[in-house]
Structure 1
Amino acid sequence: MIKASIIAGTIAIATVSSSAFAGFINGDFEQGNTTGWTVGTGNRATILNANLDPMAFLPGGSKFNANRDNSAIVSGGFAPHTDNQLKQVYAGNHSMRVEDVLNGGYASVITQKVGKYQDKDIFFAWAAVLEGAHDSREAATFKLVLRDETRGLNLITREYNADQAGGGVDKLFSKSTDGYFYTSWQVEQLSLDAAAQGNDISLTLLAADCSQTGHGGWVYLDGFGQSAPSDVPAPGVLALMGLGLCGLAAARRKR
């Protein structure tokens, strides 16, 4: 009976862990690669922010450059130009950095579409770093859309730019000593209504340097899934782990 209890507890822990990102492929980037995602980069020079179309920078798009890949999986450490205030990873060992940490007039995009999503909740975390310069039409910029593809409806949209006067950001942003606007990690949660459950859902992020090419911008993404991203086990998991340890201790005492 003791052995059965320990096994059941172990299975329960494994079930909680494996289901954390059910429906999303590699949503937390812990595979150390971009499996499940579509990523692209292209030149955005002279394109004003209002005309930046994320799809244009993905494979098959008019701005996609197959010879460039400015985005990367990153691990520990602090994001450049944030005065060592922003960690590059929100949870676990890896996150995705969309666009590089240089300038040059490029834009990068990452997207994933999940078919017939059944769970009622969606979570993900992001953090942006944008170098201040120019006005809102030309400044380094970041766009995010969580979309119900079945209904053609945007569920969450975020858009910020590094207008040198600060008008393109809000209270989520701080300004570094070297002139970059940056956020802490922002965790987004959406509870889907009944009309959205079972629909195709996509998440798309774009990060772009300024259109005049001299100032950079990038964004980090982590924890896209049906459970809140966290590097600390959920209370239920901790309880199961505790039960398992207690059971193991009891088994040893009875030997």
Structure 2
Amino acid sequence: MKRTNEPDKYRKKIKRNLLASSIALALVSSNSWAIFQNGDFENGDFSHWEKEHGLNYRLKGNPPFTADSVQISNGGSFILNVVSNSFDPRAPHLVLPRQGNFTAKLNDEIGGRHINQISQKDVITEDDRDPSDGKLHIRFTYAAVLNDPNHASYQQPYFHVQLKDLTTAEILYDDIAYSNQPGRLFYTTNFNGTWRSTPFIDVDMIVPDSLIGHELEVRALAADCSQNAHGGYVYVDAFGANKIKPQ
């Protein structure tokens, strides 16, 4: 009777199972944030993101402001950071990082008329379909922290977040608000001045299958007040197709 080397047989089976699991994990990881590279900032930096900085001399026009109200003048400097386990005394309700190990922070609390913006373009594909509902999703989360010097609306610190279909020029999502804007939910904290901050705003956009192959662009911006002395910044995280964990 032919004898089988039982230990070798089981070892080979275990190796095959481990290999299959590794391949499956690699496929899941490669697709986890398919629509935007380093969309969760887990590289610990701003790799794959376009960066722009400038100075804010005012929002153009009067409320309600839109993307066309944003004016970025030459000057300023890059103020971009990623934060890990952090506590923000100006917005103590925020848990940082929002997801994973890192959350991006655009601009800061110091002031100086600075504007900082990041953006990224990518094509939506089948990899962005959520298997739980069979639909295409774009997801991201953000929270603004803005000093409130009680300037005129067009002079206040502000933020702007937008998702645009570059193939059709359609704006899919657009949120722009200045500090203490009426009708917006802000938490108030007194910490070396008055600060108005939002909760993390979790965006989950279901997009039609007709958008497969379209190039989308996401951008996020934060601006100090136009009078120089008051800061404003925005935390952003989890740009991609994956579900965002509950807060």
Q: Does the alignment reach a TM-score above 0.5?
A: yes
Following TM superposition, by how much is the alpha carbon of 1:215 offset from its aligned partner in structure 2, in angstroms? 1.4
Give the distance between the partners of 2:234 and 2:111, measured in 1 at CA: 14
Tell me, yes or no, if structure 1 residue 210 matches structure 2 residue 210: no
Give the distance between the partners of 2:93 and 2:59, measured in 1 at CA: 31
Give the distance between the partners of 2:30 and 2:79, measured in 1 at CA: 31
What CA RMSD, in Å, does the superposition of the two structures yield over aligned residues?
A: 2.5
Aligned counterpart for 1:137 among listed residues 142, 151, 154: 154
2:101 partner SS: coil
Matched letter for residue 187 of structure 2: S
1:30 aligned residue: 42
Larger Rg: 2
- TM-score of the aligned structures, taking structure 2 as reference length: 0.79
Matched letter for residue 224 of structure 1: F
Give the distance between the partners of 1:212 and 1:51, measured in 2 at CA: 20
Following TM superposition, by how much is the alpha carbon of 1:158 offset from its aligned partner in structure 2, in angstroms? 0.8
Following TM superposition, by how much is the alpha carbon of 1:46 offset from its aligned partner in structure 2, in angstroms? 4.3
1:175 aligned residue: 188
2:17 partner SS: helix
Higher mean C-alpha deviation, range 206-215 or range 45-54: 45-54
Matched letter for residue 128 of structure 1: A
Give the distance between the partners of 2:26 and 2:32, measured in 1 at CA: 10
Give the distance between the partners of 2:235 and 2:36, measured in 1 at CA: 18
- TM-score of the aligned structures, taking structure 1 as reference length: 0.77
C-alpha change, 1:46 and 1:22, in structure 2 (3 Å) is closer
Matched letter for residue 145 of structure 1: Q
Following TM superposition, by how much is the alpha carbon of 1:184 offset from its aligned partner in structure 2, in angstroms? 2.2
Kindly indicate whether the alpha-carbon contact (under 8 Å) linking 2:59 and 2:69 is maintained by their aligned counterparts in 1: no
Matched letter for residue 193 of structure 1: P
Unpaired segments of 5 or more residues in structure 1?
58-62, 233-255
Matched letter for residue 47 of structure 2: T
Matched letter for residue 184 of structure 2: D
Comparing both structures, which one devotes a greater share of its residues to strand? 2
Aligned counterpart for 1:186 among listed residues 180, 197, 201: 201
C-alpha change, 1:155 and 1:128, in structure 2 (3 Å) is same
Matched letter for residue 189 of structure 2: S
Tell me, yes or no, if structure 1 residue 71 matches structure 2 residue 87: no
Following TM superposition, by how much is the alpha carbon of 1:104 offset from its aligned partner in structure 2, in angstroms? 1.1
1:151 aligned residue: 168
1:124 aligned residue: 140
2:121 partner SS: strand
The percent identity for this pair of structures is: 28
1:21 partner SS: coil
C-alpha change, 1:205 and 1:215, in structure 2 (3 Å) is same
C-alpha change, 1:184 and 1:210, in structure 2 (3 Å) is same
Question: Residues 48-78 of structure 1, C-alpha deviation per residue, up to 9 Å, x if partnerless?
Answer: 4758769864xxxxx344x711122222212
Kindly indicate whether the alpha-carbon contact (under 8 Å) linking 1:45 and 1:106 is maintained by their aligned counterparts in 2: no
Give the distance between the partners of 1:115 and 1:13, measured in 2 at CA: 23
Give the distance between the partners of 1:145 and 1:225, measured in 2 at CA: 14
Question: Residues 175-201 of structure 1, C-alpha deviation per residue, up to 9 Å, x if partnerless?
Answer: 113321112222111111123221000
